[in-house]
Amino acid sequence: MTTIDDLPIRDDLRGQTPYGAPQLDVPVRLNTNENSYELPGEVADAIVKAVAAEVKDLNRYPDRDAVALRADLADYLGHGLTTANLWAANGSNEVQQQLLQAFGGPGRSAIGFGPSYSMHPLLAQGAGTRWIGALRDADFGLAPGAARDEIERHDPDLVFLCSPNNPTGTALDPEVVTAVLDTARGMVVVDEAYAEFAREGTPSALALLPEHPRLVVTRTMSKAFGFAGGRLGYFAAHPAVVDAVQLVRLPYHLSSLTQAAARAAIAHRAALLATVEAIKQQRDRIVGTLRERGYRVADSDANFVLFEVGGDQKVVWQRLLDRGVLIRDVGLPGWLRVTAGTPEETDAFLEGLR
């Protein structure tokens, strides 16, 4: 039987495994940082109506540049942004892939500070970009000086920063982003997939865009909007960056149905984002309870919590799964990550862990 090893696959892809998290049918799924709350009925109805209106024209290609959707996203973000500053694709992974295709490639490099989002090096590899894995400190923090030193040492073409960081949940000090922008000669991508869950007073890199044309801030509708199945990610940047990405994007990459569904969701953002505060309460409850029990827990500005189990994390992960609670082993020895969901899901996790 033919296997992947029998095919003329690229040498740098041999032995690799696809990215993915277990998709298991268990009572409590807290492993992929989804929003546990279903879409409100009014929002679901609005999306169905918007999608239905597009069906009769599916014989035609969608708006190639998704202009109306980008205008809606600019309105949502504020900060004086316009349609020209926004770009959208099928999830934030795709917009980051497009950035790597436009600004990375053979002979170029990208750097990130781990532990961080594990897709970034995979996206870089797929785009033929050399990945440089720098490290955060022992408490998962990143100091401006340390970031600056790594940039000067490696001189990358792209820098990836996560704020809040995945899997630790920690938000970056704005001085870190500024230090990187002042040092790097290439593009600086700040992944803000979990920005809506940040604690009060946590600034966004969006405020830095007017003064930094090489800065890109990526966002997603998968988390706070509860739109993971809709697959809509986007970035905000200088219009020239949008122009550059359009050189590598596939034609008609966003379907008419995706654009319509996303616009309907954005129009009802107040109802969708109403769950954010409830999720933040459960996040803080998990942090507080685990610390009371003596666990070491990373500070979190996201909708998840990283905690140290004091032993083999694989054993703890399996024992929780045996109790119907699925969380995430991110490959960090001795640590596990749990998504903050509904109060009932938090109950199940905390009791299962006990």
Quick one: 74 and 137 in the same domain? yes
As a whole number of angstroms, the distance between CA 84 and CA 77 comes to 13
Render 34-58 in DSSP notation, one character per residue.
---SPPPHHHHHHHHHHHHHHHTTT
CA–chain centroid gap for 19, Å, is 14
Tokens of 342: 């509904």
Quick one: 34 and 46 in the same domain? no
Tokens of 303: 């909708």
Q: In the Cβ-directed half-sphere of 27, how many Cα atoms lie within 13 Å?
A: 13
Identify the CA nearest to 38 among candidates 301, 271, 258. 271
Question: How long is the chain?
Answer: 354
Quick one: 69 and 138 in the same domain? yes
Amino acid type, 67: V
164 occurs within a structural domain: yes
Quick one: 86 and 233 in the same domain? yes
Q: What are phi and psi of 205, to 5 degrees?
A: -70, -10
Give the residue from 253, 268, 283 where a domain finishes. Answer: 268
Quick one: 31 and 46 in the same domain? no
Give the residue carrying structure tokens 């189990």.
Answer: 309
CB 234 within 8 A of CB 219: yes
Tokens of 123: 């996206």
Q: What are phi and psi of 274, to 5 degrees?
A: -65, -20
314 occurs within a structural domain: yes
5 occurs within a structural domain: no
DSSP state of 60: S
| CATH number of the domain encompassing residue 312 | 3.90.1150.10
Q: Which domain holds residue 225?
A: 42-268
Q: Is 28 helix (H, G, I), strand (E, B) or coil?
A: strand
pTM listed for this prediction: 0.96
| CATH number of the domain encompassing residue 52 | 3.40.640.10
108 occurs within a structural domain: yes
Question: What is the pLDDT of the chain when averaged over all its residues?
Answer: 96
As a whole number of angstroms, the distance between CA 288 and CA 282 comes to 10
As a whole number of angstroms, the distance between CA 240 and CA 68 comes to 19
Amino acid type, 132: I
Identify the CA nearest to 283 among candidates 241, 345, 226, 212. 345
Quick one: 203 and 121 in the same domain? yes
Give the residue from 268, 295, 320 where a domain finishes. Answer: 268
| pLDDT value, residue 16 | 86
| pLDDT value, residue 45 | 98
| pLDDT value, residue 22 | 80
Give the residue carrying structure tokens 């409830």.
Answer: 278
DSSP state of 37: S
Quick one: 84 and 163 in the same domain? yes
226 occurs within a structural domain: yes
| pLDDT value, residue 202 | 92
Quick one: 187 and 330 in the same domain? no
The residues of the chain scoring below 50 in pLDDT are none
| pLDDT value, residue 1 | 86
CB 26 within 8 A of CB 324: yes
Q: How many domains does the chain have?
A: 2
